[in-house]
Amino acid sequence: MKIHNFNAGPSILPKQVIKKSVKAVINYNQYGLSLLEISHRSKDFEKIMEKTTNLVKNLMNLNEDYVVLFLQGGATLQFTMVPYNLMKKEAAYLDTGIWANNAIEEAKKIGKVRILFSGRKKKYVYISKNYKIPDEVDYFHCTSNNTIVGTQMKIFPNTSVPIICDMSSDIFSRKLNFCKFGLIYASAQKNVSSAGMTIVIIKKDILIKTQRNIPSYLDYKIHIKNKSIFNTPNIFSIYTSMLTLEWIKNKGGISIIEKKNKEKSKLLYNEIDRNNLFENKIYKEDRSNMNVTFFLKKKNLKKKFDDMWKKENIIGLEGHRVLGGYRASIYNAIPLESVQVLIDVMKEFERIFS
Amino acid sequence: MKIHNFNAGPSILPKQVIKKSVKAVINYNQYGLSLLEISHRSKDFEKIMEKTTNLVKNLMNLNEDYVVLFLQGGATLQFTMVPYNLMKKEAAYLDTGIWANNAIEEAKKIGKVRILFSGRKKKYVYISKNYKIPDEVDYFHCTSNNTIVGTQMKIFPNTSVPIICDMSSDIFSRKLNFCKFGLIYASAQKNVSSAGMTIVIIKKDILIKTQRNIPSYLDYKIHIKNKSIFNTPNIFSIYTSMLTLEWIKNKGGISIIEKKNKEKSKLLYNEIDRNNLFENKIYKEDRSNMNVTFFLKKKNLKKKFDDMWKKENIIGLEGHRVLGGYRASIYNAIPLESVQVLIDVMKEFERIFS
């Protein structure tokens, strides 16, 4: 049975990645141990870390100014770690969605937050390009892709202030000038790996001396010094990340992946725009290529539509519980075929009920 | 090839647990999805959480006063979360080892710490029973098993103050009156599951109002309210925990496991005590049944001994890098057979080199 998995995260992973991760859980090294049984201080794991780090840097074209960490606690813990480590007095944030807002709320517990733009009143359907980053703030924080509402930043500002970006839902999905960023973080369970691991990429020179007595687990400097094994990391998820990054590399790198992602999202947005029964509420230039949200124009047809897509083995199409409607999360691993199946259902639905 | 895995953590897991976790990664639910691809808000995962929680409570004989959380960040993050959530002014700690000391250092960043006993000067080879817990402290913190040096608390105090216990290396290994404890935490990668998950068991009535503006991820109340899915948890590791707890239950519960653990450790300590070439430095009544440390009396025989045990497919026997010597971590999953192989090597080594 072919399943079309549009889950927003944890979500679809490449078949090969799953196969290889299974192989490693059964038998990882020359001793016949499971990946789950090897020490995080073993040579075996050292190699995994080195390979994964190199793949991240290689795919993103990052130079030696950057370090890559593999931590725990999701983007949520980064909402705290970022201001804890980088805020002296005040930082600037873009409020482009529910997760962006969560980041702001956590930062406010630690210091002063200046919100340069909030899309909240307009239900986050667009992202302003007309904001100015003050020179005096310690950093500028943004969310590259807003998973819930389905918007995506297409342009990142030029500024002398470090740019901190939550890329949880679109990391490795498109080519950017990653050297523009001071810090990038992303929880793994969308485009990268299994849940329970966060990739944090830091330009070393943005690390400052704060006057805070930072708890060790929240201190980037300690994790950097200990190469992500200050305490036992999520070995399984790091290994699975390595497999996904290899898969991306073998596909031809991020540019090729981006091309396919654009193709998939274009097809789906075209259908939503064309189809009389659906609408997407996002400003066209801000539409996400990862999370495509849409609504029925006639709410009373919900049951009919739900029955139809479920019958086609589509899963995870429900919109976020706060927003309702539908959301097709079309991450790197989702094949064009699945998007086509969804489009066909939408067409057929229109044919019957329009 | 039969491997004898004495790793201190991540460490050996029951074969069945690995087999079943593999099965779930290949195909978890009726859709044929991998465990790695299901949502943390799905019915499938809800069932896993419920089952795992019930197994924890059932095996430990905990009543409805307790909640079970599945978090990230290891024991290390708990070193911070405990004082953050539970310390008003001052807490009492036992300094029984390197990890206990780490917990103290993190607590000092947040409030006042009273150290009731420190084994540091005596290299942590014993645990005092002659300490008095002051009534006025907010909690009493101890480490039930000291993984590095190889000591274990056999008696826990009677006190009106909440007892907080780091059980990372001996949880589910022996029967205790768990209702004595206010909070128990344990990183999963020793006796329970794969790395990257921490079990936290809290007696709800110990949660107080502190004046702190706690970062959300560090706030027990938020995790309790959200049933451990405030953010995406480590699904794979939680599932694997469930499998291990089922394995324990099927063996007959913690009492049976404890009996086997005692049998294994007794055999090994007896051999160390008997053998002319080895010594254990821990006070007999404080010896750990989980991590058995020992040293060569003649250091120049190191290479000879190392060659011998390696030849017998023993791995992970090196002592902690701070301490040197040897450490056999004999967690629940290690079979008596592996302990016997080690003992045979020690006997043979004595026969040749004594």
Question: Which pLDDT tens digit goes with each residue over A152-182?
Answer: 999 999 999 999 999 999 999 999 999 999 9
B238 and B166 assigned to the same domain: yes
Q: How far apart are CA A62 and CA B189, in angstroms?
A: 33
Model pLDDT, residue B214:
94
Strand partners of residue B118: B95
Closest CA to A77 of A198, A190, A164: A198
Give yes or no for a contact between A190 and A8, defined as CB atoms under 8 angstroms apart: yes
Counting the structural domains of chain A, the total is: 2
Best residue of A72, A197, A241 to probe chain B, by most B CBs closer than 10 Å:
A72
Position B29 confidence tier, pLDDT thresholds 50, 70, 90: confident
Q: How far apart are CA B323 and CA B291, in angstroms?
A: 13
Residues of chain A with Cβ-Cβ distance to B1 below 8 Å are 31-32
Whether A216 contacts chain B with CB within 8 A: yes
Whether A232 contacts chain B with CB within 8 A: yes
Note which residues in 85-104 of chain A have CB less than 8 A from chain B. 102
Contact check, Cβ <8 Å, B240/A36: yes
Q: Is B220 helix (H, G, I), strand (E, B) or coil?
A: helix
A280 and A159 assigned to the same domain: no
Model pLDDT, residue A210:
80
Model pLDDT, residue A1:
72
Whether B166 is catalytic is yes
A169 and A303 assigned to the same domain: no
Which chain B residue is nearest to residue A16, measuring alpha carbons? B26
* R_g (Cα) of chain A, nearest Å: 21
Best residue of A30, A33, A80, A192 to probe chain B, by most B CBs closer than 10 Å:
A33
Residues of chain A with Cβ-Cβ distance to B109 below 8 Å are 213-215
Nearest CB to A76: which of B5, B217, B313?
Answer: B217
Question: Which pLDDT tens digit goes with each residue over B72-115?
Answer: 999 999 999 999 999 999 999 999 999 999 999 999 999 999 99
Whether B142 contacts chain A with CB within 8 A: no
Q: Is A99 annotated as a binding residue?
A: yes
Residues of chain A with Cβ-Cβ distance to B75 below 8 Å are 231
Nearest CB to A37: which of B5, B215, B218?
Answer: B5
Domain span holding position A268: 253-353
Separation in Å, CA of B73 to nearest CA in chain A: 5
Q: What are phi and psi of B136, to 5 degrees?
A: -85, -5
Model pLDDT, residue B1:
72
Query: What letter represents residue B84's amino acid?
Result: Y
Whether B99 is catalytic is yes
Q: Is A166 annotated as a binding residue?
A: yes
Give yes or no for a contact between B132 and B92, defined as CB atoms under 8 angstroms apart: no
Whether B32 contacts chain A with CB within 8 A: yes
Angle CA(A149)–CA(A153)–CA(A155) in degrees, nearest 5? Answer: 165
Residue A337 belongs to domain with CATH number: 3.90.1150.10
Whether B216 contacts chain A with CB within 8 A: yes
Q: Is the model's pLDDT at B145 over the cut of 90?
A: yes
Domain boundary among A200, A230, A251: A251
Q: Is A231 annotated as a binding residue?
A: yes
Nearest CB to A38: which of B10, B196, B214?
Answer: B10
Whether A3 contacts chain B with CB within 8 A: yes
Separation in Å, CA of A60 to nearest CA in chain B: 25
Whether B232 contacts chain A with CB within 8 A: yes
B219 and B275 assigned to the same domain: no
ipTM of the complex: 0.97
B304 and B294 assigned to the same domain: yes
Mean pLDDT along residues A327-353: 98
* R_g (Cα) of chain B, nearest Å: 21
Report yes or no on B139 lying in a domain. Answer: yes
Contact check, Cβ <8 Å, A195/B32: no
Q: Is B232 annotated as a binding residue?
A: yes
Mean pLDDT along residues B242-265: 98
A150 and A19 assigned to the same domain: yes
Q: What is the mean pLDDT of chain A?
A: 97
B201 and B318 assigned to the same domain: no
Question: Which pLDDT tens digit goes with each residue over B258-282?
Answer: 999 999 999 999 999 999 999 999 9
Model pLDDT, residue A209:
82
Position B209 confidence tier, pLDDT thresholds 50, 70, 90: confident
Residue A267, number of CB atoms within 10 A of its CB: 17
Domain boundary among B224, B251, B278: B251
Give yes or no for a contact between B85 and B218, defined as CB atoms under 8 angstroms apart: yes
Q: Is B166 annotated as a binding residue?
A: yes
Give yes or no for a contact between B10 and A37, defined as CB atoms under 8 angstroms apart: yes
B88 and B29 assigned to the same domain: yes
Whether A300 contacts chain B with CB within 8 A: no
Mean pLDDT along residues B214-232: 97
Give yes or no for a contact between A351 and A31, defined as CB atoms under 8 angstroms apart: no
The two tokens of residue A106 are 């956590």
Query: Both ends of chain B: CA-CA distance in Å?
Result: 30
B228 and B262 assigned to the same domain: no
A323 and A198 assigned to the same domain: no
Report yes or no on B10 lying in a domain. Answer: no
